[in-house]
């Protein structure tokens, strides 16, 4: 199966390309800028997916069996709210429309846990913990709002053509690439050890994380089951523990403003996000933990 991976040169994209290849598929890296020579050992193509014509012509060029759409403005406040919202929503629509019109059988799109609404300076309380896919979304910035729209776009195409195209979305937790376990900066500029030593750093993301290789394995599992599960599914994908040395029952009230009552069930190493749905429907479970990977 030929699989187009948009945003393939990013920290998540590189691991997804590897996992797709190891699963026996033919990955193609599509990104705004070609990755440096040797960094991504797969065919790559530079394209601006925000341009509808470029998007369609790229899908027509490769005629993939599936598209894994990771390309986006990757974090809140990296660009203006207008640019962030327009880029993230238009790209996912372009990809879905091109896939539907040109006969691509599967589209998987990356969303984000941030649409849960945590980090809101005006305050945030979960309806319950751990957070799962049934929890209401509460976006408060343009990035999180764009991910809500992205998920709705995926589900709209799934509803319109359930027999033509399998569309699903997934919410990878804070992605940690392999080199970051050895001290390389994370996507927020700090290191994993700093996030463990200073809980206020990791509290911004409710102490969630996911090894990029586990994220790649998740995508491979979703590709394998995409046509066997109900259309328009959304999944959390996170590690089986929290990125914290103390229980979240103590850390969330102290550092994230979550009530002690809401956090009380997160004892031991339990994370704030549940990946039980992915385990139930896909047979996927994260294998790696900061306790085994941190060097």
pLDDT of the residue at 158:
98
User: Residue 27 pairs with which residues in a beta bridge?
Assistant: 3
pLDDT in tens, 204-224: 999 999 999 999 999 999 999
Instruction: Tell whether the model's pLDDT for residue 69 goes beyond 90.
Output: yes
**How many Cα atoms occupy the beta-carbon half-sphere of 145 within 13 Å?**
12
Output the 3-class SS for the chain. Answer: CEEEEECCCCHHHHHHHHHHHHCCCEEEEEECCCCCCCCCCCEEEECCCCCHHHHHHHHHHHCCCEEEECCCCCCCCCCCHHHHHHHHHHHHHHHHHHHHHHCCCEEEEECCHHHHCCCCCCCCCCCCCCECCCCCCCCCCHHHHHHHHHHHHHHHHHHHCCCCCEEEEEEECCEECHHHHHCCCCCCCCCHHHHHHCHHHHHHHCCCCEEHHHHHHHHHHHHHHCCCCCCCCEEEECCCCCCCCCCHHHHHHHHCCCCHHHHCCCCCCCCCECCHHHHHHHCCCCCCCHHHHCC
Q: Write phi, then psi, for 250 (nearest 5 degrees).
A: -95, -40
If one counts every other C-beta atom within 10 angstroms of the C-beta of residue 48, the result is 15
Query: Where on the phi/psi map is residue 233: left (φ > 0), alpha (ψ -120 to 50), or beta?
Result: beta
Mean pLDDT of 239-268: 97
pLDDT of the residue at 40:
77
pLDDT in tens, 77-100: 999 999 999 999 999 999 999 999
Instruction: Tell whether the model's pLDDT for residue 58 goes beyond 80.
Output: yes
Q: Select the more confidently predicted residue: 236 or 41.
A: 236
pLDDT of the residue at 34:
81
Distance CA 281, CA 286 (A): 14
pLDDT in tens, 3-54: 999 999 988 999 999 999 999 999 999 999 887 777 778 899 999 999 999 9
Q: Write phi, then psi, for 227 (nearest 5 degrees).
A: -95, -5
pLDDT in tens, 161-183: 999 999 999 999 999 999 999 99
Are residues 75 and 121 in contact, defined by beta-carbon separation less than 8 angstroms?
no
Instruction: Tell whether the model's pLDDT for residue 117 goes beyond 90.
Output: yes
- Domains of the chain plus CATH, in order, are 2-177+209-240+271-290 (3.40.50.720)
Are residues 165 and 100 in contact, defined by beta-carbon separation less than 8 angstroms?
yes
pLDDT of the residue at 33:
84
Q: How far is CA 161 from CA 94, 106, 158, 237, in A?
A: 16, 11, 6, 26
Distance CA 217, CA 240 (A): 15
């Amino acid at each position: 199966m030929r699989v187009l991976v948009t945003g393939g040169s990013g920290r998540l994209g590189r691991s997804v390309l590897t996992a797709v290849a190891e699963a026996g598929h033919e990955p193609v890296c599509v990104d705004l800028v070609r990755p440096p020579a040797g960094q991504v050992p797969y065919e790559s193509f530079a394209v601006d997916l925000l341009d509808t014509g470029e998007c369609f012509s790229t899908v027509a060029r490769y005629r993939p069996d599936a598209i894994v759409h990771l390309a986006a403005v990757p974090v809140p406040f990296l660009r203006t709210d207008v640019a962030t919202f327009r880029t993230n929503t238009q790209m996912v629509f372009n990809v879905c429309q091109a896939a539907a019109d040109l006969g691509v059988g599967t589209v998987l799109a990356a969303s984000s846990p941030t649409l849960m609404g945590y980090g809101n300076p005006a305050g945030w309380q979960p309806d319950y913990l751990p957070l799962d896919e049934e929890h209401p979304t509460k976006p408060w910035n343009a990035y999180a709002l764009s991910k809500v729209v992205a998920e709705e776009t995926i589900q709209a195409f799934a509803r319109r053509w359930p027999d033509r195209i399998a569309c699903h979305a997934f919410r990878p937790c804070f992605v940690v690439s392999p080199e970051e376990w050895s001290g390389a900066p994370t996507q927020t500029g700090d290191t994993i050890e700093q996030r463990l030593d200073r809980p206020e750093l990791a509290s911004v993301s409710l102490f969630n994380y996911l090894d990029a290789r586990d994220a790649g394995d998740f995508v491979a599992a979703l590709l394998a089951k995409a046509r066997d599960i109900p259309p328009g599914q959304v999944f959390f994908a996170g590690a089986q523990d929290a990125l914290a040395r103390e229980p979240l029952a103590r850390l969330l009230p102290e550092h994230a403003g979550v009530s002690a009552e809401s956090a009380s069930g997160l004892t031991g190493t339990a994370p704030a996000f549940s990946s039980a749905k992915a385990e139930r429907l896909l047979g996927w479970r994260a294998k790696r933990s900061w306790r085994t990977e941190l060097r």
